[in-house]
A and B are shown apart, each in its own frame.
Chain A
């Protein structure tokens, strides 16, 4: 399928999300749409997919001007979309999800499960995407769920496949598998529109790259262009992709974890005998495929999850099973994994969110009443110092972009004297510009003598930031290695093989 967009403009009130976008996707081509978060990529995709209607411009499919009133029409016209948040019903089987909206039926409108299964098997075989049609979707790993999404699009005879940030939730191995699938689909003549802000992936797979910034196409690029060139096009200024760090001068031990056992929500041991130490002035990066106990480990440190056995101490003070309040008072700053759930109160202002960890302390409150002037003053200075882009300190924090929300959390946590800084997935979902900024802040803190513990499922980030890299697998530390270690070795440790010490 050949898709052509001519001058697509989409406005929300006074805000122009897409301005005069031109784009051509040729059959059998992998076309990358590269842009920062909030650049208008998702809006554009929703326009193509019929979820939104453009205000100006036209869309041509195989040379014919087309307009979709809803996504059902787009699907029927051969456009498939793999959404960032899967459009799958978790309690349905794979087969039921794939046929939903296009169900084969027998008499009395009954579902024909047999035919549904056969359809899926035949599509699976054609494109070499193996999935059990009777498996319940929520019981499948994320990578397989995504495969079901792709299968769903293909079973509706999609000729153009839109993939919206498909790698955000995948492990490195799953990303490789996805890339292989994309290549084979393109080879069979399908057009692919791949949306991302990750430069490595773009370079690995794109035939054509269109860069979009603030709702406008700023140009096209080649996969052979350097990452720095792509990044500066995307952000609109030159960005440094490497993290500069001074030499390591570790001090005393600030975090000591011994034989920690923590259970997950289902009552199973998620952290199973972990010992780890972080010294002042060093960054320890905790690597590992998501779901291997990192989340529970950090929650235990932050006092958000009970410790079964073992101890956690900060600068020699035991904080095992202390409340979050006590942990904060012990000098721990914490950037939680889910910033909207645990990091911010979305319905409160930027200024209030910036004092969430010290709301009852002078100067922000005295004898039980708040000192709003001090809260505001604090907000003004932090907004300036951390370059938080907001219309005002009184704006709701929910109105900020993801990157700026993360800056609010980082600013708040770093605005008081700390011994230890713990950050979980500090740059997840952030664009290149914000990542650079957050990384610089973390390194600054380390240079000023803080102990830093980073948890990240992004190998690049782990390698760039860590002075030591601890790899977690199945609730245990499978190895602690130096950042000069090869990706392959770390990958093996992530899969649970062997153990070494740095």
Chain B
């Protein structure tokens, strides 16, 4: 990882002092908000109960009982912890790891929000938060986001912006549902999903590499087209023939023993094959990009295509290959999403592809960063979708904005400073 580290210092060294201080102040504000609104604001008699039950109780030999916390004091402590981190950033101005700290602050904030939302005033316990269920639910979303942002890493590291991730999700989910319904085999579904995603990637690559079209416009067009096409086919094929969209959840493949661990077991070791595939892919792409000859060439193509061409690297060929592979990964992501929902429905990816792009940026175009960002964004999307069960007196759509607000903050340089591959999105002309 020596390579990564040097790049990292080169980038972070450019963050002006004032900006780092600004992030610290924002973190301080979040901490105070947490302590005052979620802490003091929930009243000192309120308490929140956390349970850690896996979805199927039969298969869990070791269980943790219910943890009941005093909401106010817990959240005051969480808030003060955030304040402390904010103060550290604002006063000591660390040169590295500011974004990582921000991620930790965001997770603590979400946790405090959860406690606040599930608090019970009075002696009787009515509300529970099943933390295990929250983690499993957000891990499914995070997995889809990881597939999407890995796709983005593949394409953008080679210099092609893949806005079409959303479209590849839709395409993968659609054909994935048909194949899974007819063959009842998610392995085939994944392969066909990869083919469809790769095909969308091929169209994107063809238009942007052969005809040098604006990659962002082509990508948006593809998303719009696939969205409409899937609605149309849904109406024409899936509605009259419901046997092609029967609803299948991918089976869980528990890993012996490990899956029985409390909390961690169900989240990491009792997942579908897609989840394990995602982990393998993250490792593969990370290793490939930063350790191998192939990765060096891909990154050279994404940073300075003329330089790559001058030593005989076939720039256009590398870009085609990567955009198609990236498309295939996003296609599998679409199948994985379908397999976690059970069915295809038009429009139900609802912007996940764009959130994956946001995760790509927040993760600084690195597979590892994309995972961290996906976990964070997956959690926020899950909470936005599920908090209403706790009758939270706030519009949960605000939470849905979180990934985009963070992305704007990152892109504008408010949090950290990210640098995309230098030739990202630029057409390459030979000569």
Co-assembled chains A and B: yes
Spell out A's residues near B (CB within 8 Å).
46, 49, 51-52, 70-73, 75-76, 81, 83, 85-93, 96-97, 100-103, 105, 108-111, 113, 134, 136, 138-139, 156, 266-267
Q: Is the CB of B303 within 8 A of A51?
A: no
Name A90's contact: one of B292, B297, B304, B312 (CB within 8 Å). B304
Chain B 292-331 against A: per-residue CB contact (8 Å), 1 yes, 0 no?
1110110110011011111111000000000000000000
* Inter-chain contact B312/A111, CB cutoff 8 Å: no
Residues in chain B near residue A51, CB distance under 8 A: 310, 431
Q: Tell me which residues across on chain B come within 8 A of A92, comparing CB atoms.
A: 296, 299-300, 303
Interchain nearest-CB distance for A15 vs B (Å): 14
Interface set, chain B 413-431, CB cutoff 8 A to A: 419, 422, 431
5 contacts between A and B (CB under 8 A): A75-B312, A83-B310, A90-B422, A103-B296, A266-B16
A71, A89, A105, A266: which contacts B309 (Cβ < 8 A)?
A71
Residues of A contacting B14 in the complex (Cβ-Cβ under 8 angstroms): 266
Question: Which one, B293, B308, B431, contacts A105 given CB within 8 A?
Answer: B293
**Chain A residues with CB below 8 A from B16, complex form:** 266-267
Q: In the complex the two chains form, what is the Cα distance from A202 to B431 in whole Å?
A: 28
Q: Does B6 contact A (CB under 8 A)?
A: yes
- B307-A100 in contact (CB<8A): yes
Query: Whole-angstrom distance between the alpha carbons of A91 and B303 in the complex?
Result: 8
Shortest distance between the CB of B5 and any CB in chain A (Å): 11
Q: Kindly list chain B residues whose C-beta atoms are within 8 Å of the C-beta of A266.
A: 14, 16
Q: In the complex, A458 Cα to B311 Cα: how many Å?
A: 33
Kindly supply a per-residue 1/0 record for chain B positions 149-191, scoring 1 wherever the CB is within 8 Å of any chain A CB and 0 otherwise.
0000000000000000000000000000000000000000000
Contact between A109 and B312, CB atoms less than 8 A apart: no
In the complex, whether B257 has a CB less than 8 A from a CB of chain A is no
B291 CB within 8 Å of chain A = yes
**Chain B nearest CB, measured from A282 CB (Å):** 40
Q: Which 5 A-B pairs have the closest CB atoms?
A: A72-B312, A101-B311, A87-B307, A109-B292, A103-B293
Q: How far is the CB of B184 from chain A (nearest CB, A)?
A: 36
- Within the complex, what minimum Cβ distance (angstroms) separates A184 from chain B? 24
Instruction: Indicate whether A91 sits within 8 Å of B7 (C-beta atoms), given known contacts A96-B296, A103-B296, A267-B16.
Output: yes
- In contact, A110 and B312 (Cβ under 8 angstroms): no
Q: How far is the CA of A96 from the CA of B304 in the complex (A)?
A: 13
What is the minimal beta-carbon distance from A487 to any residue of chain B, in angstroms? 36
A111 touches B293 (CB 8 A): yes
Give the distance to chain A from B409, nearest Cβ to Cβ, in Å.
Answer: 20
CB of A53, distance to nearest CB on chain B (Å): 10
Distance from B337 Cβ to chain A, minimum over Cβ atoms (Å): 31
| CB of B398 closer than 8 Å to a CB of A | no
Task: Tell which of A73, A83, A85, A100 touches B300, judged by Cβ atoms closer than 8 Å.
Answer: A100
Q: Which residues of A contact B296 (CB under 8 A)?
A: 92, 96, 100, 103, 111
Q: In whole angstroms, what is the CA distance A101 to B297 when docked?
A: 7
Residues of A within 8 A of B18 (CB): 267
Q: B10 interface residue, CB < 8 Å from A?
A: yes
Contacting A at CB under 8 A, from B384-401, are: none
Q: Most chain-A CB neighbours within 10 Å: which of B10, B18, B309, B311?
A: B311
Q: For chain B residues 249-305, which have a beta carbon within 8 Å of chain A?
A: 291-294, 296-297, 299-300, 303-304
B310 near A89 (CB under 8 angstroms)? no
Q: Contacts A51-B431, A139-B10 given: A75-B303 contact, CB under 8 Å?
A: no
Closest to A267 in B: B16
Q: Are A89 and B300 in contact (CB under 8 A)?
A: yes
The answer to whether B299 touches A89, judged by C-beta atoms less than 8 angstroms apart, is: yes
Q: How far is the CB of B40 from chain A (nearest CB, A)?
A: 39
Known: A90-B303, A111-B293. A100 touches B308 (CB 8 A): yes
Closest chain B CB from A489 CB (angstroms): 37
Contact of B6 with A136 in the complex, beta carbons under 8 Å:
yes
Chain A residue, CB-CB nearest to B430: A51
CB distance from A476 to the nearest CB of B (A): 24
B297 and A100 form a contact (CB under 8 A) = yes
- Give every chain B residue within 8 A of A73 (Cβ-Cβ): 312
A412 to B294, CA, bound (A): 51
| Contact yes or no, B6 A70, CB < 8 A | no
Q: Mark B8-21, 1 if CB is under 8 A from A, else 0.
A: 00100010101000
CB distance A72 to B307 under 8 Å? no
Cα distance, A13 to B174, chains bound together (Å): 49
Nearest CB of chain B from residue A11's CB, rounded to whole Å: 14
Measured CB to CB, the nearest residue on chain A to B288 is A109
Asked if B292 and A108 sit within 8 Å, CB to CB, the answer is: yes
Asked if residues A138 and B10 are in contact (CB atoms below 8 Å), the reply is: yes
For A112, the closest partner residue in chain B by CB is B293
User: What is the CB-to-nearest-CB distance from B17 to chain A, in angstroms, rounded to a whole number?
Assistant: 8
Chain A residues in 8 Å Cβ range of B294: 109
Contacts of B2 in A (CB 8 A): 113
When distances are taken between beta carbons in the complex, the residues of chain B under 8 Å from A88 are 304, 307
CA separation between A204 and B162, bound complex, in Å? 52
Closest A-chain residue to B13, C-beta based?
Answer: A139
B215 to chain A, nearest CB (A): 21
Task: Give the docked Cα–Cα distance between A76 and B311 (Å).
Answer: 9
> Which residues on the B side are within 8 Å of A96 (C-beta)?
3, 296
Assembly CA distance A108 to B288 (angstroms):
9
A134 touching B311 by the CB < 8 A rule?
Answer: no
Report which residue of A51, A103, A111, A138 has the largest number of chain B beta carbons within 10 angstroms of its beta carbon. Answer: A111
Out of A71, A89, A91, A138, name the residue touching B312 (CB < 8 Å). Answer: A71
Residues of B1-58 at the interface with A, using a CB-CB cut-off of 8 Å, are 2-3, 6-7, 10, 14, 16, 18
CB of B431 within 8 A of CB of A52, answer yes
Closest to A72 in B: B312
Do A102 and B10 touch across chains, with their CB atoms under 8 A apart? no
A89 touches B304 (CB 8 A): yes
Q: How far is the CB of B157 from chain A (nearest CB, A)?
A: 12
Chain A residues with CB under 8 A of B310: 49, 51, 71, 75, 81, 83, 87
Which residue of chain A has its CB nearest to the CB of B311?
A: A101
What residues on B are CB-neighbors of A83 within 8 Å? 310
Cβ of A310 to closest chain B Cβ, rounded Å: 22
Partner pick for A134 among B6, B7, B299, B313, CB 8 A cutoff: B6
How close is B18's CB to chain A, nearest CB, in angstroms? Answer: 8
Cα separation A237 to B427 with both chains bound (whole Å)? 42
Complex CA gap A102/B3 in Å reads: 18
Query: Which of B293, B306, B308, B419 has the most A CB atoms < 10 Å from its CB?
Result: B293
